[in-house]
Amino acid sequence: MNVIDLFSGCGGLSLGFIKDGYTIKKAVEFDPNIAKTYKINHPEVDVIVDDIRNIDQSGVFKSGDADVIIGGPPCQGFSMAGARIRNGFIDDPRNYLFKHYFNVVKTVKPKAFVMENVKGIMTMQNGKIFEEILRIFSDSEMLDGEPYQLHYRVVKAVEFGVPQKRERMIIVGTRNTDFDFDKLWEQTKSDILKDYPHYFDTVTVQDAIGNLGATTIDGLIDNPMPVTDYQRYLASEKTRLTNHTKTNHSKIAVDRMSRVANGENFTALEEKINSVHSGSYGRLCWSEQAPTITTRFDTPAGGRFIHPIENRTLSPREAARIQSFPDDFVFYGNKTSICKQIGNAVPPKVSYFLARLISKII
């Protein structure tokens, strides 16, 4: 089955669909540095590096181009004060991202679509944004008489054998209406367990990154022997792994990190830390899951991202492991871009589940 990935990032959502045998026909990514990572890891995909506003109705997409559309349009939220509906949409420029996702769905007419977003989208603007998304995709008139039936739920990455407490909203739109969504969800789990008996096991930080060893200047390390089921699932045939570099922290930051024990954060330092993050200068525990990996996992003040036993933040390879990226996936670009690519991605283990679910629905 053919797929179009909108707002693709480096390709976390694509990875799960590729693993299940789908063909990604096109991917759209606005940032050229992030698109480079997608292109090099997936040379077979037509990656369009452009703003979706320029291409959603430009003729790039045609009816029947894909069976499935996937992607997570950022929802900045929009003011409902005096909101007017114009051309079928709430009239607010910040609304444009999911509006353009909608336009591609309307043009291509896929059998199903998957939209991933922040958990808080249900409550933003008193739930009005979420209502708007549900409204437009099920509006027969706006979709040329072919509306979608929508299903949605908040998914916890931990429940998919991912070692982090990430929660995201998944919205699935389908043309097929003759099925029980909850039943198919459970059936998908059962089927995956036949192929991967440990898929949904609870995974700790140590299970994920415990075999990685010391970082290097160029990020290249000898491929370590996997010792846990999770490591075996992500393992690569390559002789070397990439992206295992550490951030060069200031002496002050290293000193602070040295004084924080497992499970503690900045409150253990008894000094004023300029950070808005409650987990600032937090140290991970080997025996627990990590909090959500964000785009600032290289910064001690950015959250609870200090290595369990070393006085440094996570390396990109460690963060990628915690996100469930396979070991042979290589991230390209500068440090800021790579952190953004990893932090913004959908965990591939979650996307693989969604791919199997969608094939059942279709």
Q: Tell me, what amino acid is at 96?
A: Y
Compute the half-sphere exposure of residue 193: CA atoms within 13 Å on the CB side of its CA. 9
Backbone φ and ψ of 12, nearest 5°:
-60, -40
Active site residue 339: no
Distance in angstroms (rounded) separating the CA atoms of residues 319 and 342: 7
For residue 4, what are the CA distances in angstroms to 91, 135, 144, 151, 167? 27, 23, 21, 20, 24
Q: Classify burial at 317, counting beta carbons within 10 Å of its beta carbon; exposed 0-12, middle 13-18, buried 19 or more.
A: buried
- Which token pair is 163? 């070692």
Length of the chain: 362
Q: Which of 10, 75, 285, 339 is catalytic?
A: 75
Compute the half-sphere exposure of residue 259: CA atoms within 13 Å on the CB side of its CA. 12
Find out whether 87 and 24 touch, Cβ atoms under 8 Å. no
List the catalytic residues.
Answer: 75
